[in-house]
Amino acid sequence: MIDQSLTERTRPIRLGMLTPSSNTCLEPVTYGLLGTDTTRFTAHFARVPVIRIALDAGSDSQFDTGPMLAAARQLADAEVDVIAWNGTSGSWLGPARDRALAEAITTATGVPATTSTLALLDACAAYGVTRLGLALPYTRDVCERITETYAKEAGLECFLAEPFGEDDNEAFARIPAADVARQIEEAAVTAVDGAVHAVAVVCTNVHGAFEAPRLEQRLGIPVFDSVTATLWKALDLAGATAALPGRGTLLHTGSPRARIQETLETLLTATGADRTTFRVDLPALGLHVDLTAGEACGPGVRPIRRDASLDQRRLDTVRWLAQHRRPLVQPCFTAEPRPPQALIEVYGVRGQVLVPVPAPGDDALTGWISVHSLSERSWSDADVAHATAAASRLSAVIGRFTGTSH
C-alpha cells in the first residue's frame, strides 16, 4: 500500500545509496526488493573505496567522512530524497560514528541520511528486540567487537553463529545463499537460556535478503538482513508508506511498528508511567491484540510484549472499553472493572489508564493504549490528555498504513 501523497508526485522517490566499492550484492538485491516498477521508487548508487574488513587502523580509514561526503554530494546532484551509507562499519566502529556521518551528510547536502547499522538498530527498537542472533561473514575478532558494540551501545544481548571468517569484502558475496541460510538458522538457536527475538545478517555484501522471508516463516521470528534494513529505513525517511509484500517482516510492517514505538516512548516520558503498550487487530499487518504491537518500559520494568497467555477481548477492562468508548482511569483496582490478576501478580501493575484507539472511519474497538503504574497513583487530567493524544496519533498511523485515512 502506498500513501496517497506518493501517487501525486511528478517523479518516483529517489533513494541514494553510498556503496562499498567491492560490494556486488546490494545493488541487484536492492532492485530485486523494490521490484520492476520504477514509477514509484528508483535507487541510485555512488561507490566509496572499501576492500578489507578488519580492526586495524588501515581498515578503519576506509570509513573516513571525507570520501563519504564527496560521494554523497554526487548523489545529491541527482536530487535524491534520502542518502544511506549502505555499509555496516558502524557495527564495529560504533553507532555514534554513524550518527555523526548521517548528520554530516545532511548538513552538506540538505538530504535526510541514515546508515545500515542505524537501520538495524532502529529495526530492533521497532520490534522490541533485546536478544539478537547474529549471522556474520567476518573474522572472529570483528564479530566479537560487533557483539560488544551492540551490547554497550544498544543494550542488545547478542548470540553469535559460527562466522565465515572472511576479511576480503568482495569474497562475502561469493558465500552461497544456502550457507547464509544455515548460518541464520544457527543464529536463531544459539541462545542456551531462551529464544532470541530476531536474527540480523550484518553485512550488505551477503546474500541473505531473499532467504529471510522463508526463514521467518520457519523460525517464527524476524530476520533483519542489512540490505533490506537499509532499504526499509531509506524508504521510511523518504516518506514512503510502502508495504512491499513477500519481502519479509521489516518491509511489510517495520514503518508502522516504528511509529507505534515512538508514540509509546513519548507517552511514557510525558506521563512518567512505568509501562505503555498498544494492542491492535490489524491482520493485514500481522498484528493481533493478544500480543502488543509496541511497548515502552521504564528502567527495570518487566516487559509484557511477548506474553500472549490472555484472551484480551474477554477481559473485563477491555469489554468496558468496547462498551463505553472513552478512557478508563484506574488509580487503583478496588472497583470494577478489574484487570486480570496476572497483570497485578506477574507484572506488578497497581494502577492504569486505558484509552480506545478506533480505526479511521470505523466504530469498532480496533485497539487500545495501556498506561501502567507499578504503584497506586492519581492520574492527572494532563496524563489522560497525553494518553488521548497518543491514541489519536496511533489512529492516524493505522489510517496511513492501511489506506483508511480520511
The predicted structure's pLDDT at residue 285: 85
Q: Are 377 and 240 in contact (CB under 8 A)?
A: no
DSSP run (H or E) holding 157? strand 157-160
390 is written with which cell numbers?
497518543
Alpha helix ranges (H) inside 37-168:
57-60, 65-77, 90-93, 95-109, 116-126, 140-154
Q: Which residues of 168-194 are buried (b: 16+ CB within 10 A; e: fewer)?
A: ebbebbebeeeebbebbbbbbebbeee
Q: Indicate the DSSP class of residue 85.
A: E
Regions of the chain where pLDDT drops below 50: 1-7, 406
* The Cα angle at residue 295 between residues 294 and 301, in degrees rounded to 5: 165
Residue type, 234: A
Alpha-carbon distances, residue 221 vs 126, 301, 303 (angstroms): 14, 23, 18
CA atoms within 13 A on the CB side of 4: 7
At which residue does the C-alpha cell 524476524 appear? 222
The predicted structure's pLDDT at residue 2: 38
Q: pTM for this one?
A: 0.93
Best CA proximity match to 298, nearest among 348, 253, 256, 257: 348
The predicted structure's pLDDT at residue 362: 67
Alpha-carbon distances, residue 181 vs 67, 127, 213, 237 (angstroms): 33, 22, 11, 29
The predicted structure's pLDDT at residue 6: 46
Name the maximum alpha-carbon separation found in the chain: 67
Q: What is the pLDDT of residues 330-367, one digit of tens each?
A: 999 999 999 999 999 999 999 999 999 987 766 778 99
Q: Are 65 and 104 in contact (CB under 8 A)?
A: yes
- DSSP-derived pairing of the beta strands 198-201 and 131-135: parallel
Distance CA 381, CA 387 (A): 10
Distance CA 212, CA 232 (A): 14
The predicted structure's pLDDT at residue 191: 63
